[in-house]
Amino acid sequence: MPKMKTKSSAKKRFRLTGTGKVRANVAFKRHCLSAKTSKMKRQQRGTFIVAEVDSPNVKKFYLPYGA
Protein backbone atom coordinates (compact mmCIF):
# COMPACT_ATOMS: atom_id res chain seq x y z
CA MET A 1 0.00 0.00 0.00
CA PRO A 2 1.22 3.52 -0.69
CA LYS A 3 1.91 5.96 2.09
CA MET A 4 -1.02 7.97 3.38
CA LYS A 5 -0.87 11.74 3.06
CA THR A 6 -1.23 13.97 6.09
CA LYS A 7 -3.95 16.59 5.63
CA SER A 8 -2.21 19.93 5.12
CA SER A 9 -4.84 21.79 7.14
CA ALA A 10 -4.42 19.39 10.06
CA LYS A 11 -0.65 19.95 10.08
CA LYS A 12 -1.31 23.59 10.89
CA ARG A 13 -4.03 22.98 13.48
CA PHE A 14 -3.04 19.92 15.52
CA ARG A 15 0.08 18.60 17.26
CA LEU A 16 0.64 15.41 19.21
CA THR A 17 1.94 15.48 22.77
CA GLY A 18 4.59 13.12 24.01
CA THR A 19 1.95 10.76 25.39
CA GLY A 20 0.01 10.72 22.11
CA LYS A 21 -2.79 13.15 22.94
CA VAL A 22 -3.89 15.71 20.37
CA ARG A 23 -3.27 19.38 21.14
CA ALA A 24 -5.06 22.21 19.31
CA ASN A 25 -5.52 25.96 19.44
CA VAL A 26 -8.51 27.51 21.18
CA ALA A 27 -11.21 29.05 18.98
CA PHE A 28 -12.92 32.47 19.12
CA LYS A 29 -9.92 34.65 19.89
CA ARG A 30 -9.06 36.29 16.56
CA HIS A 31 -11.33 39.33 16.27
CA CYS A 32 -14.13 41.24 18.04
CA LEU A 33 -12.09 40.90 21.21
CA SER A 34 -13.60 44.04 22.74
CA ALA A 35 -16.89 42.19 23.10
CA LYS A 36 -15.32 39.27 24.97
CA THR A 37 -14.60 39.28 28.69
CA SER A 38 -11.09 39.41 30.06
CA LYS A 39 -11.62 36.03 31.69
CA MET A 40 -12.52 34.44 28.35
CA LYS A 41 -9.52 35.98 26.58
CA ARG A 42 -7.17 34.93 29.39
CA GLN A 43 -8.43 31.34 29.40
CA GLN A 44 -8.06 31.07 25.63
CA ARG A 45 -4.32 31.69 25.60
CA GLY A 46 -2.22 28.76 24.50
CA THR A 47 -3.63 25.39 23.53
CA PHE A 48 -5.96 22.69 24.83
CA ILE A 49 -6.17 18.90 24.65
CA VAL A 50 -8.77 17.60 22.20
CA ALA A 51 -11.50 15.42 23.73
CA GLU A 52 -10.75 11.71 23.89
CA VAL A 53 -13.72 10.82 21.69
CA ASP A 54 -12.42 13.06 18.89
CA SER A 55 -8.69 12.35 19.06
CA PRO A 56 -8.78 8.83 17.51
CA ASN A 57 -10.40 10.26 14.36
CA VAL A 58 -7.89 13.10 14.16
CA LYS A 59 -4.99 10.69 14.49
CA LYS A 60 -6.40 8.13 12.06
CA PHE A 61 -7.69 10.32 9.24
CA TYR A 62 -5.76 13.59 9.50
CA LEU A 63 -2.40 12.77 11.11
CA PRO A 64 -1.71 9.14 10.15
CA TYR A 65 2.00 9.47 10.89
CA GLY A 66 1.79 11.91 13.78
CA ALA A 67 2.86 15.01 11.87
User: What three-state secondary structure class fits 60?
Assistant: helix
Compute how many other C-beta atoms are within 10 angstroms of the C-beta atom of residue 63: 20
Query: Per-residue pLDDT tens for 54-64?
Result: 999 999 999 99
CB 4 within 8 A of CB 16: no
On whether the pTM is more than 0.85, the answer is no
Examine the pLDDT at 67 and tell me if it is beyond 80: no
Give strand pairing partners of 24.
14, 48
Q: What is the CA radius of gyration of the chain?
A: 15
User: What three-state secondary structure class fits 66?
Assistant: coil
Query: Per-residue pLDDT tens for 28-38?
Result: 999 999 999 99
Mean pLDDT of the chain: 94
Which CATH code is given to the segment(s) 8-62? 4.10.410.60
Q: How far apart are CA 25 and CA 11, in angstroms?
A: 12
Q: How much is the average pLDDT of 5-26?
A: 94
